[in-house]
Structure 1
Amino acid sequence: MPVFRPLITLLATIVATLATGWIVDQALQRIAARNPGAPVWPLLRRCRIPLQLTVITALLLAASPLKRIFHLKNDEGAHHLLLLFLLASLGWLTVRVVAALLEALLGRYETVTEDPARRQRVHTQISMLRRAVSAGIVIVTVAVMLLTFSAMRTIGASLLASAGIIGIVAGIAAQSALGNFFAGLQIAFGDTVRIGDTVVVDGQQGTVEEITLSYLVVRLWDHRRLIVPVSYFVNKPFENWTRRDPGLLAAVLLHLDHTTPVDALRGALHTRLETHPLWDGTEWALNVTDATPSTIVVRATMTARTPDDAAQLRFDIREHLIAYLRDEHPEALPRLRTTP
């Protein structure tokens, strides 16, 4: 009988935990069904596991059924362990809730904004804010867990006395990490580079795939990933092709013979662009930009919606114009002239 009652308490604790998780999940499902336009409720369902861990740990701390089941006279170790689990669960739950709220805010903003530049900017800012808040919650949680140890509380006074020296040493040692951290915040809220932007870094063109508190991941044209410290984008110049307008002007240069029929070539370019799916219909031109003793330089320009479309359009137009000259005006292709 002395063991029977603690067992019932333990089973009731487990049942109460499962029931709490089920009730909260069902409530979120019903709220989400009534408000289909609000993405926050489905995202909050991800918090079920940390919520259940928090509930069961709190109930075990309050009821202490394990002490009576195993006849523990001194349960300070078990009580301390449960307290650590409770703090960790609360930290995990807080991180999940904050992440769900920020993702819901981003999803809500994307549904009411059609400007891709603004959506990329907000996406970058919210991603950086989520990482910073999550890191802060983890640091606070670990600090509170450490303070539960009596040894940490005992040496607290000496640590505070030497806090100035430790702060100076830590600041010097972590100068690079702190610089990257504040550079990441400056990038996120300064709108210099965003996720999805096309940038040129050290002569290599790529698309920003991920921005963290310490580095950026740039996906190159051949699917390689270039890892760049965020401080690079603050201290050094770089090209951002899509900061204001994702559309770009693609250019094709051809070296041709002086007998080239420029008007016919211009008409062939216009005819091809009218049927090309990557041309956005905004601008196009074909001009003779230079002349040498043996050739002329013809430049064809046309606009596209994105940098990737501009690159592919440039390849297609170059191939089409060369094929047109080869088939219709072979005399326009450059030749080496000799005289007897």
Structure 2
Amino acid sequence: MPDASAWETMLVFAIALVIAVIATFIVSAIASIIVRAAARRRDWAGILIRRARWPFRTVLLIGGVWGSIALAFPGVAWRPPVDHAFLIAMIAAGAWLVAQLFLFLADVGVSRYRMDVADNRVARRVHTQFQIVRRLVVVVIAILAVGAILLTFPGVRAVGASVLASAGIASIVAGLAAQSVLANVFAGIQIAFSEAIRVDDVVVVEEEWGRIREITLTYVVVMTWDERTVVLPCTYFTTKPFQNWTKYHSALIGSVELDVDWRISTDAMREELDRLLEGNELFDGRTKVLQVTDATGGLVRVRVLVSAADSAALWDLRCLVREELVEWLREQDAAALPLQRVLVGAEPARERSGEVRDVEEPVEVAEPREEAAAEREPRSEPKPVTGSRAGLFSGTADGEQRASEFTQAIPVQPPSEDDPSRRAGGPDGLEGKGEGGGAPDGSAN
């Protein structure tokens, strides 16, 4: 028959355990009410409760159970290993609580910077840095917790001196073995604070266009335009060149190129471009340029430059402009469709010898009467260039500002009095303004 004292001990333990559990939930509820009352009409109270509720309850519960055992079973032989187990559990729960409190502070700091606004460059920088720092701090807290748990074992403390003595050799061996891992970790930290890329940046990597979805200590996740996931090591962004389309701003300029016949009316084409872009929500109104950039091989290359607020809108705008201009050429200016001209009858000797030329392209032959009439008609005078036509680097305030970005950084030394170019070229010895190496071909081709 069990001893009466054993029943009393078990009863005391059960009562103490129930009291500890009830006290845990009561204290947790009171703390939640106090936090909500102190931070009424603010969001951080909900974040704190969501982050710290269960770690706080776990610490209270472990402490209550440990205290119940100490109260009910004082001085028993099996207490030391049980106390050691509870000490380890308390260290782990405390590390969990500390980590969650730090994540709460990080969430509060990040919540002040919204990502769903038009100009979110600062928000993307803050989110990226906090994303790296929070992972790094959590890893450090976990390592410290594991170290504190190991130090609770007497054997580990005894060999601590020898471990510290051989720490230099061990660190060299570990560094060589984990060279790639450590390189990625340091690259991740460098990315976070150098702002080469940020969360939600639009990048072109490995000929893939997408957005930065996640940045960790060892790898970066890029979500492509067709919803594929590209995972790259952090060292990729510190050792290889890549394109970041939202480094300073999200607005871009894109190009649309068309090869047309020499008879194209560029003025009519500009009018059609104005009609297309007027009131279009994809067009941001910054850049609207139509220029002839090439005229070789029997064709004329017309390039249209348009701008949009971001890369997604620019892609749709370029496709729309291309489709509408092709439709306009086919229906309104069919004479400007690309043609290949072949001069027939230029070499009578070959015709008499029976040589025949195969012509696969559309042939345009001028009638003699039409040529004679054209020769009799007086030729119209060429239109004077008034300078009012807008170009990428001229004609508008934005164009002049864009040109200054290419030219103002190049120092121009004034010529000396005996410089022949000064006498030949005018007061400043220059024939015209520099164009910074020519017009670009569009940043979003």
TM-score range for the pair, normalised by the shorter chain length: over 0.9
Evaluate the alpha carbon distance shift between residue 259 and residue 66 of structure 1 in structure 2; reply closer, same or farther with a 3 A threshold. farther
Partner of 1:296: 300
Alpha-carbon offset, residue 68 of structure 1: 3.6
Alignment partner of 1:63 out of 61, 68, 88: 68
Partner of 1:11: 18
Partner amino acid, structure 1, of 2:9: P
Unpaired runs of 5+ residues, structure 2, are: 1-7, 345-445
The structure carrying a bigger strand percent of its residues is: 1
Partner of 1:23: 30
Q: Which moved more, 1:59-68 or 1:214-223?
A: 59-68
CA distance in structure 2 between the aligned counterparts of 1:292 and 1:120, rounded to whole angstroms: 46
Alpha-carbon offset, residue 53 of structure 1: 0.3
Alpha-carbon offset, residue 114 of structure 1: 7.8
CA distance in structure 1 between the aligned counterparts of 2:310 and 2:325, rounded to whole angstroms: 22
Alpha-carbon offset, residue 131 of structure 1: 0.9
The structure carrying a bigger helix percent of its residues is: 1
Runs ≥4 residues deviating over 6 A: none
Alignment partner of 1:243 out of 242, 247, 270: 247
Q: How does 1:144-223 map to 2 (within 5 A)?
A: 144-223=148-227
Identity %: 36
Alignment partner of 1:229 out of 233, 237, 240: 233
Alpha-carbon offset, residue 129 of structure 1: 0.9
Secondary structure of 2:262 counterpart: coil
CA distance in structure 1 between the aligned counterparts of 2:151 and 2:118, rounded to whole angstroms: 49
Whether the aligned pair in 2 keeps the contact of 1:200 and 1:206 (CA below 8 Å) is yes
Alpha-carbon offset, residue 154 of structure 1: 2.5
Larger Rg: 2
* Length, aligned pairs only: 335
Partner of 1:108: 112
Alpha-carbon offset, residue 206 of structure 1: 1.6
CA distance in structure 2 between the aligned counterparts of 1:272 and 1:307, rounded to whole angstroms: 19
Secondary structure of 2:292 counterpart: strand
Partner amino acid, structure 2, of 1:292: T
Choose between structure 1 and 2 for higher RCO, CA contacts under 8 A separated by at least 6 residues.
1
Whether the aligned pair in 2 keeps the contact of 1:6 and 1:65 (CA below 8 Å) is no
Q: State the Cα RMSD in Å.
A: 2.1
Partner of 1:307: 311
TM-score of the two chains, using structure 1 as the length reference: 0.93
Alpha-carbon offset, residue 65 of structure 1: 5.7
Secondary structure of 1:294 counterpart: coil
Secondary structure of 1:184 counterpart: helix
Partner of 1:321: 325
Alpha-carbon offset, residue 192 of structure 1: 1.1
TM-score of the two chains, using structure 2 as the length reference: 0.71
Unpaired runs of 5+ residues, structure 1, are: none
Partner amino acid, structure 2, of 1:58: G
Whether the aligned pair in 1 keeps the contact of 2:21 and 2:64 (CA below 8 Å) is no
Secondary structure of 2:9 counterpart: coil
